[in-house]
Amino acid sequence: MSQLFSATQIGKLSLENRIVIAPMCQYSASEGKATAWHRIHLGQLALSGAGLLIIEATAVEAIGRITPGDLGLWDDDTEAALRSVLEDIRAYSPIPVGIQLGHAGRKASCAAPWQGGEQLALDQGGWETVAPSAEAFHEGERPPVALSRDDLARIKQAFVDTAKRAEKLGIELIELHAAHGYLLHQFLSPLSNHRDDEYGGSLENRMRFPLEIFHAVREAVSDSIPVGVRISATDWVEGGWDNAQSIAFSQAFEAAGGDYVHVSSGGLAPQQSISVGPGYQLPFARDIRQQVKIPVIGVGLITEPTHAEAVLQEGSADLVALARAMLYDPRWPWHAAAELGAQAIAPPQYLRSEPHGLKGTLKANR
């Protein structure tokens, strides 16, 4: 029996299989509000047969957006726009939907990737950014403002308020974004956090604010909603955040009541040196999984069904996340089920699409 298509659970949330659609920024919102693009994008992914769909990094305040086109959930307008999209998805798909809550910190105020991705000037639609320390991501960029205690309290409350809005929308899982060089990762890494108060210096101090955010969010939403975290296991820079520190953070997160760890890497420093290949981040996930009891999600150039199955069989992760591979092939779970001799869920309108010789691969999602 395929382990990839076996049922599992994250916290109190039951999943049909172990395929996770990872959060993928679309840079296509309007002042933080979901648009028709999100209805199309998330709608097709909701029909994929995956076990869990996590909405892209969603800003908890306007200055926390990576780009002006980032999705947000910080006021009634952004909540209403996302509600409309989710209502349409749920009319046709039972897929559990999670959301990744984030703040870009010093990596905010940038153009979309297809527009160059450079930091936007203040007179070109940009804004002042914030970070643990007043040090820019790229040399020559406008430096961020170092966060004061009042700022930390504001951002923590923003995470709480956004988490409550997510619950109101019926979202079933919350992921805190502490990866890819964004604000919570900036607190974790000694390369970006040079504070001399209780939020900087030692590993314990650097972990403090991300863990405070988790505690506040966990207390703000129902215990039926799993709250997990996505981390970058390493900065890929000597002297930066590494997997030993990631293990310590994952253990602290588990002890605090966290429900899962989603293991990625990189994004904090332009100096990173990454050797990319299929499953290149899985050794980090495996090491973390050996030290915690909560589920670990592995991700990183996992494109072939047999590889995804092997990841689980070998114990590198409890679930497998796909991002670009799912964009390239939104029916990846169907094709994986056919290759692995399993079944994937599909809308009844599409059941007759099964190729000859593969009858029974798809089953109705209602």
Domains of the chain: 8-364 (3.20.20.70)
pLDDT of residue 349: 94
275, pLDDT greater than 90: no
Which two tokens mark 328?
């390239």
Q: Rounded to two decimals, what is the model's pTM?
A: 0.97
**Range from 12-21, 46-55, 353-362 carrying the lowest mean pLDDT:** 353-362
Q: pLDDT tier at 359 (50, 70, 90 boundaries)?
A: confident
Region 333-346: mean pLDDT is: 96
pLDDT of residue 357: 86
Q: Among 27, 92, 182, 328, which one carries the catalytic annotation? A: 182
Mean residue pLDDT across the chain: 97
Q: pLDDT tier at 365 (50, 70, 90 boundaries)?
A: confident
Judge whether 182 counts as a catalytic residue.
yes
249, pLDDT greater than 90: yes
